[in-house]
Amino acid sequence: MDRRTLLTALPALAGCSSIAAFDTLAPRDPGTRRIVHNAAYGAAPRQKLDLYAPEGTPGSLPVIVFIYGGSWRHGDKDNYNFLGAAFSAQGFLTAIPDYRLVPEVRFPNFVEDCAAAVRWVNDNASTHGGDPSRIVLAGHSAGAYNAMMLALDQKYLAAAGVPAQSVRGAVGLAGPYDFVPFDVPATQDAFGQAREARLTQPIHFARADAPPLLLLWGQDDTTVGPRNIESLARAMREAGGAVETKIYPGIDHIEIAAALSRPFRGKAPVLADVTEFARRVAA
């Protein structure tokens, strides 16, 4: 596959429509398959998810629920087949949900949708070879925000009926976790109507008994600044929680997610870092 052709599709990972081109062109990890397509976890058209698994799944696999980004305004799970294959090839049952987006909904509805998706995974993972007691949440950009809110603010998973002990850890790739005031259109549109801005921020919910966190960021990221990873890591440590961080030199906001795909893994060990953490906390 022509690497230069794939490079033209990289902006897709920020939520642009060309993500479909990237997903089509990027070669897949072998030995995996999509085993569930469009499973409904709610009544709304976008409340659906897909499952990926290694071929010949032996059963009781740890589970990764990956939430894509797109400024809470863009995204389609069908354009992340490369990612479902990447995690599944590493021995995980992988769920990728869609969720409702701005302007159809605003905070906290997209977080609530992700909680409902985790509930579906918790209820159905064992049917598809996964272990519902070993779920790790992960996300990129706005999806990392959603994942951290689920991991830290206990009310979302509790309201969805997910046992607290089922989620063993959470991984954030280039996520915004400390972004008050809402001074860009994406955050104004998604959070501007919130009654209390502080209650929209993952850093506010740092706690000692939270699942372990892995926070990843690229040093060349000009979309989500270092304040986010630094603030959440500091808040977790001050609260007595478990948190690990890693910063990749020469990697920007898009490349940190692209590094999960086969053609770009040489740029940064993102896939290895995520899956090593997930195996360890889900052991």
Looking only at the bridges linking them, the beta strands covering 213-218 and 32-40 are unpaired
For residue 91, give the CATH number of its domain. 3.40.50.1820
The residue range of the domain holding 121 is 3-282
Half-sphere exposure of 117 (CA within 13 A, CB side): 34
CA distances from 145 to 7, 22, 51, 70 (A): 26, 23, 21, 11
Task: Give how many domains the chain has, as a whole number.
Answer: 1
Residue 59 has what pLDDT?
A: 77
Structure tokens at 129: 């070879």
Nearest to 69 by CA among 116, 8, 152, 12: 12
Question: The pTM is what?
Answer: 0.94
Blockwise average pLDDT, block size 10, the chain, 283 residues:
50 58 90 97 98 88 98 97 97 98 98 98 97 98 98 98 97 98 97 97 98 98 98 98 98 96 96 98 96
Residue 16 has what pLDDT?
A: 46
